[in-house]
Structure 1
């Protein structure tokens, strides 16, 4: 499945926050199960299975769906509801419950589900049955639902809203999402990314099996295991998922086994959408001031440096790799949660969570890769960020990565220095307050304004000299101004970029502020795309 096709199939759930519940209680196992469905299970056995699979050729296990499911519209698919009495942990009457997604539309991969008894170290398969679902208003011809079709994924609910709002969702390839206390889904994570920017076709590995440990009734934490499979790799994953009051935290043990050489491997990949924001206005001809699930890539580098990289919606695909060693964390962040910034009453971008990755093992050398794809609007994700190990991934290679994912409004950690509050860009080459063109007819430039807040900036003695330290890959910088802005209790750095050639290659910019030899802020990175020479004029 190609990226755009997969994303289109997932559109049915872009604004989805929950359907009525259902699944099958683990201890009952579930109607249709027999003693033949019980098998030994523990994580070491799953890792051994994944390693053994990687030593053999890939077998595509996607299925030919009956026409009534294959030809569904997103509206029909969403109309399929689960029977609340069939939920996985329904009889526990506890804090958590699980239900499964139906196969249909582009979701053709049957995903097998198992209930695990951790004491006996046994797993019992949960079989698909039409009786688990309610098909009213879906147009599904139930007579065509023959045999065990499997499931497409699963979702998790938390008390007291066990039948209203799901807070974790695994659906499609190895994609999954979670929410914070706003109950609003946003960006997605993946189990693994393969060749998302290389000279070969991108792969979308599938989670093909899940094993659920039944939690204690009072617990908001549960463990689920997953088997990943693709033409280039297999994987054994353990997810320890803590559904806290204001955030969801996932501790992940990822074990990857390469079937063949992989040119680009993405660890802890995340996918988001950026259409337009304060600095990128090309696609903002709508009633909304900003449109994005995330507005920046944050990186806490292995050397301790904090880096803020505002996201772009470029006119053509852009790829950047930020080299590092043992990064302390990175993530795609939605830093602005003010309704006034979006004026959106449909997708509620002001409520979208951020996603932060915290490595729990040493990751070694590699790069945080950022892929930005041109998009015409908000319905297709166009941002990918992940860790790409430097070590070559050859056939038979085994890799293990431990990390935590924090789904919350903002990352759980922050720099003690001043942070980037906003980035703005517009016409330059003239004095603020005057119009370009009339008094400056032969000058064209691009103006940038970067606001820094926090980090004790508002406690600096009056008259403290603030020095902006700026580097650009080409062109010339002029007209620097540093302004104290009382409304934000921070400083604004303004400068103009002037072209020195006709090149339209991206311009890389780097900025931080200091006083004397003391660094005051995190590092601002930006990539500007200059227009063609014949467009370097004012209207």
Structure 2
């Protein structure tokens, strides 16, 4: 199993395209009290002890051999398996929240055990799989193969919130430790994970730890917040998680408290990992193979460093795999953002990229020294997640340790915080070497150049423009030659456009890490633009031939 196969097209059919994710049907049900296991005491302290004890034992995989009728399902058939809303977890509460479960099938073959917890008595009862919880019409599942399969478990769960208590979910946990949430658009996009292990390292193969059990605390009447606990397990570590999930009107906020217990040393531990997709954007329009102007779930990595500096790193669909790291000490926040929410920017009526949420990580407590690491994988399509970002602690991770981290995840159109300085609006690239406003026609410049433009908005930019206060650019480009740096005020978006031409001075193809900040009167007034530019092949550094107009 690899990163791309975990997010199956079953989700793509429902969540990816924004279709109803729970088929509706009328079904006779005996009872909505689906927790039928024996009563057992439960607490988060107990779960931490359980995970700690589990980590000193050899790892035992719980992946199971599914009946052929389930293992051979196509994504389309899998998505046809509906959950009976009359058997949803909190159906009898008649409240604003409810939980339904995903069926095992396809590559979702690691059973997840589910428990219902009474917070008043701290007693938990398991919810066992049984076929009558589901509707198989349209899925062509041979139900006779499921008889006596009480240990099949579930593949994951999803959360609904009124008024769409059976039609469109707002939180989904499915596959390994992957999970997603939406804002008020009800459109899924970027994914998070419980942990990442050896995502990109020469020292060990990547692992995908999995949530194997969940405990749901029954919420109070009328509550839009609920608590879920999870056990995570893998060959390299075990973990105890507590999720406090706030299902607000225009966003979902998760408070996560996790305790990790490594079984072995881990070369690269990724905290609060997130996985997204970038196919093409304003700075890589040549990668847009369809008619859509842009295709991406996220357009940038944003970092609020521990020293207060804000960094904007536009994402790329690179010509070859790229791995970048940003050192920091106790970061204030970071995330993969979708900042452009205009339909005209995508013209996509299926993917609805203009509705994709951003994901912002807010560390709680001092995370110490480490790196925000970014992996970008080349892709030719839009159904494969090719962007991964996470925090890697500097300290070595060894067997027998007990690690504790807490943070919030904000799933919303934009992050809950933003810089008071001028912010990057968009980045553009195109041919250069000619005056702005003059488009090359029959006669091109003698020397090829790449033009790069960066728009800055917000902060005090309008004040500087209105008062004719001069701006200074601080541009660092490690290779090549920069010419024609220009600053334009643009009324249409009330901001400054900074553009320059880059001329290669060698045939080197190594990516260039460009940096740009703006200052006025000796004071920095913008966030830091950090862009990785890939010089084209030497034979491609020429202008296209044109037939003269007649």
Question: TM-score w.r.t. structure 2 length?
Answer: 0.94
Deviation at 1:500, TM superposition (A): 1.9
Q: Counterpart of 2:276? A: 272
2:109 matches 1:105: no
Structure 1 CA distance, aligned partners of 2:93 and 2:448? 68
Q: Deviations over 1:404-451 (max 9, x none)?
A: 000000000011111101100011122223345865543111110000
Residues 276 and 297, structure 2, Cα contact 8 Å, conserved in 1? yes
SS for the counterpart of 1:478 is strand
Deviation at 1:29, TM superposition (A): 4.6
Structure 2 CA distance, aligned partners of 1:508 and 1:18? 42
Structure 2 CA distance, aligned partners of 1:198 and 1:225? 30
- 515, 518, 522: which one pairs with 1:513? 518
Q: Deviations over 1:347-373 (max 9, x none)?
A: 100111100000012100000000000
Q: Counterpart of 1:188? A: 191
Structure 1 CA distance, aligned partners of 2:297 and 2:13? 17
Residues 21 and 87, structure 1, Cα contact 8 Å, conserved in 2? no
SS for the counterpart of 2:286 is coil
Q: Counterpart of 2:528? A: 523
Residues 32 and 91, structure 2, Cα contact 8 Å, conserved in 1? no
- 270, 281, 302: which one pairs with 1:298? 302
Q: Counterpart of 1:7? A: 7
Structure 2 CA distance, aligned partners of 1:153 and 1:374? 29
Q: Counterpart of 1:361? A: 365
Q: Deviations over 1:205-248 (max 9, x none)?
A: 10000000000121000000000011111110000000001110
Residues 174 and 206, structure 1, Cα contact 8 Å, conserved in 2? yes
Q: Counterpart of 2:322? A: 318
Deviation at 1:7, TM superposition (A): 3.2
Deviation at 1:5, TM superposition (A): 2.4
Residues 32 and 87, structure 2, Cα contact 8 Å, conserved in 1? no
Residues 338 and 358, structure 2, Cα contact 8 Å, conserved in 1? yes
Deviation at 1:392, TM superposition (A): 0.5
Residues 8 and 75, structure 2, Cα contact 8 Å, conserved in 1? no
Structure 2 CA distance, aligned partners of 1:365 and 1:488? 38
Q: What does 1:15-94 correspond to in 2, within 5 Å?
A: 15=17, 16-20=19-23, 29-30=33-34, 33-34=36-37, 37-94=38-95
Deviation at 1:474, TM superposition (A): 1.7
Task: Return 197-206 or 365-374, whichever deviates more.
Answer: 197-206
Residues 252 and 404, structure 1, Cα contact 8 Å, conserved in 2? yes
Deviation at 1:20, TM superposition (A): 4.1
Residues 372 and 384, structure 1, Cα contact 8 Å, conserved in 2? yes
Task: Return 371-380 or 452-461, whichever deviates more.
Answer: 452-461
2:146 matches 1:141: no
Q: Counterpart of 2:177? A: 174
Deviation at 1:456, TM superposition (A): 2.0
Residues 260 and 404, structure 2, Cα contact 8 Å, conserved in 1? yes
Residues 174 and 191, structure 1, Cα contact 8 Å, conserved in 2? yes
Residues 268 and 357, structure 1, Cα contact 8 Å, conserved in 2? yes
Structure 2 CA distance, aligned partners of 1:397 and 1:231? 15
Q: Counterpart of 2:116? A: 115
Q: What does 1:216-227 correspond to in 2, within 5 Å?
A: 216-227=220-231
Structure 1 CA distance, aligned partners of 2:352 and 2:228? 30
Deviation at 1:343, TM superposition (A): 0.5
Q: Deviations over 1:378-404 (max 9, x none)?
A: 110100010000001111122111000
Structure 1 CA distance, aligned partners of 2:337 and 2:57? 39
2:331 matches 1:330: no
Q: Counterpart of 2:548? A: none
Deviation at 1:534, TM superposition (A): 2.0
Q: Counterpart of 1:483? A: 488
Residues 504 and 529, structure 1, Cα contact 8 Å, conserved in 2? yes
Q: Deviations over 1:93-147 (max 9, x none)?
A: 0110000000001100100000012222221000001000000010000000032
Deviation at 1:457, TM superposition (A): 1.0
Deviation at 1:459, TM superposition (A): 2.1
Structure 2 CA distance, aligned partners of 1:376 and 1:439? 33
SS for the counterpart of 1:45 is helix
Structure 1 CA distance, aligned partners of 2:471 and 2:408? 37
Structure 1 CA distance, aligned partners of 2:258 and 2:196? 13
Structure 2 CA distance, aligned partners of 1:21 and 1:266? 38
- 487, 503, 524: which one pairs with 1:498? 503
Q: Counterpart of 1:456? A: 460
Residues 29 and 126, structure 1, Cα contact 8 Å, conserved in 2? no
Structure 1 CA distance, aligned partners of 2:350 and 2:491? 33
Structure 1 CA distance, aligned partners of 2:166 and 2:7? 26
Query: Which sections of structure 2, spanning at least 5 residues, go unmatched?
Result: 545-550
Q: Counterpart of 1:247? A: 251
What is the number of equivalent residue pairs in this alignment? Answer: 534
In the superposition, relative to structure 1, how do residues 159 and 249 fare at CA in structure 2: closer, same or farther (>3 Å)?
A: same
